[in-house]
């Protein structure tokens, strides 16, 4: 056992120091390269920097350190870009939510306004129908009035022509109200024209 130790020491003492130095530089290089290939950049960097501290002129160690630095910088840039994209997505999402809320509020206001208009139109239509019924009752001719109308005599200040014009105007108004209702139920805005 002691003889082997002595032999090893003798070999080391008489061996070329450049060979020992090259073997040590290789071990740093291969260890750093293995860590770099496995994606452990901080460990690879530490190992290569330690090797360069002992062997400052080793070109392979210097080249690998540059490659590790490039990769580290690229990862940092990618992370920054990812953060910026995430921030932009968050902003876009917040903006979209704000727009959706505004749209919902506007739809609710429009719906409330439409309901109010519908109620008002229903009330107006009901009043119109009541007026029409009143006018029909008043306009219902009795036999004496029929005879007077046929003779062309005015009844309560209205001639037959005036009464016909009033009835025609009421029919037109009712048709127009029906068109409004049909358009409102179909969801389109009423333009006043059917083309």
Residue 45 within any structural domain of the chain: yes
Last residue of a domain, one of 22, 51, 80: 80
| 128 and 60 co-located in one domain | no
Residues 195 and 123 in one domain: yes
**Mean pLDDT per 10-residue section of the chain, whose length is 195 residues:** 46 48 79 88 90 89 89 90 91 89 89 87 85 73 57 65 91 88 70 60
Counting the structural domains of the chain, the total is 2
Is 72 within 8 Å of 41 (Cβ atoms)? yes
Output the pLDDT for position 147. 60
* Residue 158, beta-bridge partner list: 155
87 within a domain of the structure (yes/no): no
pLDDT in the model for residue 10: 41
DSSP type of residue 195: -
**Domain boundary pick from 32, 64, 80:** 80
Q: What is the pLDDT of residue 80?
A: 92
DSSP 38-89: TT-HHHHHHHHHHHHHH-TT-HHHHHHHHHHHHHHHHHHHHHHHHHHHHHHH
Instruction: Report the sign of the C-alpha dihedral through residues 113, 119, 120, 121, in that order.
Output: positive
Q: Does the residue 23 lie in any domain?
A: yes
Tell me the C-alpha distance between 51 and 161, whole Å. 116
> Do 75 and 132 fall into the same domain?
no
* pLDDT score recorded for residue 77: 92
Distance CA 20, CA 94 (A): 63
Does 128 reside within a domain?
Answer: yes
Q: In this structure, are 187 and 133 located in the same domain?
A: yes
Domain stops at, among 62, 80, 98: 80
The answer to whether residue 147 is domain-embedded is yes
The CA-based angle 117-120-123, given to 5 degrees, is 150
10 Å Cβ neighbour count for 148?
15
Q: Which domain holds residue 25?
A: 2-80
């Amino acid at each position: 056992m002691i003889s082997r130790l002595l032999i090893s020491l003798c070999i080391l003492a008489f061996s070329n120091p450049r060979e020992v130095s090259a073997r040590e530089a290789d071990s740093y290089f291969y260890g750093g390269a293995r860590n770099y290939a496995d994606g452990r950049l901080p460990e690879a960097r530490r190992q290569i920097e330690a090797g360069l501290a002992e062997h400052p002129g080793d070109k392979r160690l210097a080249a690998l350190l540059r490659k590790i630095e490039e990769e580290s910088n690229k990862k940092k840039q990618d992370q920054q870009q990812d953060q910026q994209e995430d921030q932009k997505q968050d902003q876009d999402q917040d903006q979209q939510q704000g727009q959706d809320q505004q749209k919902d509020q506007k739809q609710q206001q429009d719906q409330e306004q439409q309901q109010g208009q519908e109620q008002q139109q229903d009330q107006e239509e009901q009043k119109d129908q009541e007026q029409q019924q009143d006018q029909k009752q008043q306009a219902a001719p009795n036999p004496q009035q029929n005879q007077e109308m046929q003779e062309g005599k005015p009844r309560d200040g209205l001639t037959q022509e005036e009464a016909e014009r009033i009835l025609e105007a009421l029919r037109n108004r009712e048709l127009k109200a029906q068109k409004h209702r049909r358009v409102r139920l179909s969801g389109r805005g009423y333009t006043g024209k059917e083309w």
